[in-house]
Chains A and B, each alone.
Chain A
Amino acid sequence: MASGEPALALERPEVEPVAGIAARGPWRLAWERLRRDRAAIASTAFIVFISLVAICAPLIAHLTGHPPDAQYRETGLSINGIPVGPNRTFLFGTDELGRDVLVRVAYGARISLLVGTVASGLAVLVGIVVGMCAGYFGTAVDTFLSRFMDVILSFPLLLFAIALVTVVGPSLPLSVAIIVFFSWAPVGRVVRGQVLSLREKEFVEAARSIGASDLRILVVDILPNLAAQIIVYATLLVPLSIVFEATLSFLGLGVVPPTAEWGSMLAEAVSYYQVAWWYLAFPGAALLFTTLAFNLLGDSVRDAVDPRGERMFVRG
């Protein structure tokens, strides 16, 4: 290059970006919109709180002196064998075996959050990979993968889950696998659609013209443009996975007793709700508010990363 020489004596660039206005990237703007959103703040606060509860579950068990699986038949059950309501020893009451509902709800949060995040993370990952391959490589690859997604989306999931659990036996990894298997296809479809339109953009052609490989184009040029949709989808998939996992456990297809889990607690509590409302109310509320918080956060994130969509929504 013309080292030493001054820059070409051309006309100066036609418009200088205005000085004093800080350059803000799209993520920065999204973050600032998110920070102003009260629903986002509240739901984040709740998610942080429930996560702390999950992490500190052993601490709660230690403080109350009630391990999650310990049965207190003397203090935790009435003379008739009915669970006792909330009192000073058992803040959330006890269940039909005299176990501490508070401790069990705290331990249940661990399973729900773990399954929710791990399963939706894996589902998003699978969805991204399959969707990007289908959208980018097109033709035969696309036809095959798209039909495969159609097949998965048309599966009767609960029947499939019941059949599989009957054969293999219920376990936590199995329920995660089932959730992932049934959750990735919608992500894959969204990603495929996005990639289909992105790959026709001139900047992808430009990347190819400077010699970028397919992998580099997918990771460096296309993936960052998908990030917004992916983050939104991932946040909305977490509550779905939590509910899905609770459903499996409710039906006895998820975690194995005596492990504390919200879904299986609800299943048990259904038989006692007339005499022990707390047994149904606390795990139910935990499940409700956790999924609500994730859903609200997902909506806020979507509004923050795609303000145009938000405006259309308000007008429409």
Chain B
Amino acid sequence: MTSVGTEPLLRLEDVVKHFPIRRGVVFRREVGRVRAVDGVSLEVGRGETLGLVGETGCGKSTLARCMTRLHDLTSGRVVFDGRDISRLPQRRLRRLRTDLQMIFQDPYNSLNPRRRVGSIIGDPLAIHGLADGAERQRRVQELMAQVGLNPEHYNRFPAEFSGGQRQRIGIARALALRPRLVVCDEPVSALDVSIQAQILNLLADLQERLGLTYVFIAHDLSVVRHVSTRIAVMYLGKIVEVATTPDLFGRPRHPYTCALLSAIPVPDPDLADRRTRLLLSGDVPSPIDPPTGCRFHPRCPKARERCRREEPRLERRNGDPEGHVTACHYPVEPDEELARAAGTREDERGGSVSLGGRYGER
């Protein structure tokens, strides 16, 4: 087979996903397109956890659905285990589903309210003809035990479970086919903080036992830091920085990454007061009509004329270790004070928006 040790498990090459905006009732015409994902190249190595972070609406979830081919790509390639799956017809894709699974964000929406837990978890086995009757029930109950659910609750409806338990059901369903890659689309962002930790520990535990590879999507950097080996930062449909977790937190190069990092709340109030926060001004631009050049330039404290004209390439910048790539013409230097630069811009424009502000709401 093509699966050599060095070949990544999943490779995205210039993945593009645009959603056309149509008008008209009988004669529909395209009046624009939402550039949800606009040219993303990424690699996911075997056994690693790749964190994918970015603000709400930056295209993370769309990218996840492109990876798992729940969306058809507008252009680009998705290579899973050395095999191009980006043009596979739906029928052939179904066999691939055993290797590629997804855990969904909303545990209230992702389970069919009219079906019993046993059927929900047993569905993958039924669809792929892997187990029937008593054997299926045994496997489902095994899975339930594995994710920390009481196997006796086999016959219950999703409504009878709490949010955390429902997410466990979703995890059990994803694991039923024994996948190799699991794409977790904000699996804990709908849960209470105390339960988030339980689910994260469960996912880490399962990864170790079953040798899973994760793509872990979140808008919460502290969660991603906890689980990821590498992190990719996404902004408005593009990847702006990729690095190993310690590298990204220790030496962030992209101004957007710096802003995200400075938005992580600090538990100590005295420390938090002393800390200078990099606040970004303005809103995220519309993905229907993204800015020219570097998409971050309207909000960037370091933006210059070149950023307006020329789109920066995602590449290794001077002094960075192998594998740390940044899409910025003027990457942040380790000793640079960015917050002040942002402050002056804030004065000019009035009003500011802090990133990651959603964190404290829960």
**Is A80 located at the chain interface by the 8 A CB criterion?**
no
Q: State whether A1 touches B150 (Cβ < 8 A).
A: no
Question: How far is A16 from B115 in the complex, measured between Cα atoms in Å?
Answer: 20
Question: How far is A213 from B198 in the complex, measured between Cα atoms in Å?
Answer: 33
Question: How far is A213 from B89 in the complex, measured between Cα atoms in Å?
Answer: 12
Q: State whether A202 touches B106 (Cβ < 8 A).
A: yes
* B241-270 contacts to A (CB < 8 Å): none
Q: State whether B149 touches A143 (Cβ < 8 A).
A: no
Q: State whether B156 touches A17 (Cβ < 8 A).
A: yes
**Is B237 located at the chain interface by the 8 A CB criterion?**
no
**Is B229 located at the chain interface by the 8 A CB criterion?**
no
Q: Note all chain B residues with C-beta closer than 8 A to A7.
A: 145-146, 148
Q: Note all chain A residues with C-beta closer than 8 A to B148.
A: 7-8, 10-13
Q: State whether A11 touches B198 (Cβ < 8 A).
A: yes
Q: State whether A203 touches B109 (Cβ < 8 A).
A: yes
When each residue 115-158 of chain B gets 1 if its CB lies under 8 Å from chain A and 0 otherwise, what string results?
Answer: 10000000110011000000000010011011111100101110
Question: Which of B78-86, B159-167, B313-321, B341-349 makes up part of the contact surface?
Answer: B159-167
Q: State whether A209 touches B97 (Cβ < 8 A).
A: yes
* B93-129 contacts to A (CB < 8 Å): 93-95, 97-98, 101-102, 104-106, 109-115, 123-124, 127-128
Q: Note all chain A residues with C-beta closer than 8 A to B201.
A: 10-11
Known: A206-B170, A207-B123, A208-B70. A14 touches B165 (CB 8 A): yes
Question: How far is A28 from B94 in the complex, measured between Cα atoms in Å?
Answer: 35
Question: How far is A62 from B73 in the complex, measured between Cα atoms in Å?
Answer: 73
Q: State whether B198 touches A14 (Cβ < 8 A).
A: yes
Known: A211-B98, A211-B128. A26 touches B113 (CB 8 A): yes
**Is A15 located at the chain interface by the 8 A CB criterion?**
yes
Question: How far is A227 from B68 in the complex, measured between Cα atoms in Å?
Answer: 31
Q: State whether B164 touches A14 (Cβ < 8 A).
A: yes
Question: How far is A212 from B124 in the complex, measured between Cα atoms in Å?
Answer: 8
Known: A15-B162, A26-B157, A206-B104. A225 touches B143 (CB 8 A): no
Q: Note all chain A residues with C-beta closer than 8 A to B150.
A: 13, 16
Q: State whether B157 touches A25 (Cβ < 8 A).
A: yes
Question: Most B CB atoms within 10 A — which of A7, A11, A206, A220?
Answer: A206
Q: Give the interface residue-count category, chain B.
A: 35 or more
* B191-207 contacts to A (CB < 8 Å): 194-195, 198, 201-202, 205-206
Question: How far is A212 from B129 in the complex, measured between Cα atoms in Å?
Answer: 12
**Is A69 located at the chain interface by the 8 A CB criterion?**
no
Task: Across the interface, name the chain A residue whose C-beta is closest to B125.
Answer: A210
> Residues of B at under 8 Å CB distance from A?
26, 28, 65, 68, 70, 93-95, 97-98, 101-102, 104-106, 109-115, 123-124, 127-128, 139, 142-143, 145-150, 153, 155-157, 159-162, 164-165, 168, 170, 173, 176-177, 194-195, 198, 201-202, 205-206, 209
Q: How many A-B residue pairs have CB under 8 A?
A: 122
25 contacts between A and B (CB under 8 A): A2-B146, A2-B209, A3-B142, A10-B202, A11-B201, A14-B194, A17-B153, A23-B160, A143-B26, A201-B110, A202-B110, A203-B110, A205-B65, A205-B102, A205-B110, A206-B111, A206-B170, A208-B70, A209-B102, A210-B176, A211-B95, A211-B177, A212-B123, A220-B123, A221-B112
**Is A216 located at the chain interface by the 8 A CB criterion?**
yes
Q: State whether B111 touches A213 (Cβ < 8 A).
A: no
Task: Across the interface, name the chain B residue whose C-beta is closest to A14.
Answer: B164
Question: How far is A225 from B112 in the complex, measured between Cα atoms in Å?
Answer: 8
Task: Across the interface, name the chain B residue whose C-beta is closest to A9.
Answer: B205
Question: How far is A211 from B162 in the complex, measured between Cα atoms in Å?
Answer: 27
Q: How far is the CB of B85 from chain A (nearest CB, A)?
A: 13
Q: How far is the CB of B343 from chain A (nearest CB, A)?
A: 41
Question: Most B CB atoms within 10 A — which of A3, A147, A210, A211?
Answer: A210
**Is A224 located at the chain interface by the 8 A CB criterion?**
yes
Q: State whether B160 touches A17 (Cβ < 8 A).
A: yes
Q: Note all chain A residues with C-beta closer than 8 A to B142.
A: 1, 3
The one of A13, A26, A211, A216 that contacts B168, using a Cβ cutoff of 8 Å: A13
Nearest 7 pairs of A and B residues by beta carbon: A211-B97, A7-B145, A202-B110, A224-B114, A211-B94, A210-B124, A202-B109
Q: State whether A212 touches B164 (Cβ < 8 A).
A: no
Q: State whether A205 touches B113 (Cβ < 8 A).
A: no
Q: State whether B168 touches A213 (Cβ < 8 A).
A: no
Q: State whether B155 touches A23 (Cβ < 8 A).
A: yes
Starting from the known contacts A8-B209, A202-B106, A225-B112, 9 additional A-B residue pairs (CB-CB under 8 Å) come to: A1-B143, A11-B198, A11-B201, A12-B148, A13-B164, A17-B160, A143-B28, A207-B123, A210-B123
Q: State whether A209 touches B70 (Cβ < 8 A).
A: yes
Q: How far is the CB of B219 from chain A (nearest CB, A)?
A: 17
Question: How far is A272 from B176 in the complex, measured between Cα atoms in Å?
Answer: 74
Question: How far is A208 from B162 in the complex, measured between Cα atoms in Å?
Answer: 24
Q: State whether A216 touches B127 (Cβ < 8 A).
A: yes
Q: How far is the CB of B309 from chain A (nearest CB, A)?
A: 38
Question: How far is A3 from B209 in the complex, measured between Cα atoms in Å?
Answer: 12
The one of B111, B123, B195, B209 that contacts A14, using a Cβ cutoff of 8 Å: B195
Question: How far is A162 from B176 in the complex, measured between Cα atoms in Å?
Answer: 60
Q: State whether B205 touches A203 (Cβ < 8 A).
A: no
Q: How far is the CB of A298 from chain B (nearest CB, A)?
A: 21
* A1-45 contacts to B (CB < 8 Å): 1-3, 7-8, 10-17, 23, 25-26
Task: Across the interface, name the chain A residue whose C-beta is closest to B100.
Answer: A209
Q: How far is the CB of A134 from chain B (nearest CB, A)?
A: 14
The one of A8, A23, A202 that contacts B104, using a Cβ cutoff of 8 Å: A202
Question: How far is A216 from B91 in the complex, measured between Cα atoms in Å?
Answer: 13
* A119-169 contacts to B (CB < 8 Å): 143, 147
Q: Note all chain A residues with C-beta closer than 8 A to B145.
A: 7-8
Question: How far is A211 from B126 in the complex, measured between Cα atoms in Å?
Answer: 10
Q: Note all chain A residues with C-beta closer than 8 A to B164.
A: 13-15
Q: Note all chain A residues with C-beta closer than 8 A to B168.
A: 13
Task: Across the interface, name the chain A residue whose C-beta is closest to B201.
Answer: A10
The one of B106, B162, B202 that contacts A8, using a Cβ cutoff of 8 Å: B202
Task: Across the interface, name the chain B residue whose C-beta is closest to A209.
Answer: B102
Known: A10-B205, A17-B153, A23-B156. A1 touches B146 (CB 8 A): yes
Q: Note all chain B residues with C-beta closer than 8 A to A213.
A: 94
Q: How far is the CB of A144 from chain B (nearest CB, A)?
A: 10
When each residue 213-233 of chain A gets 1 if its CB lies under 8 Å from chain B and 0 otherwise, what string results?
Answer: 100100011001101000000
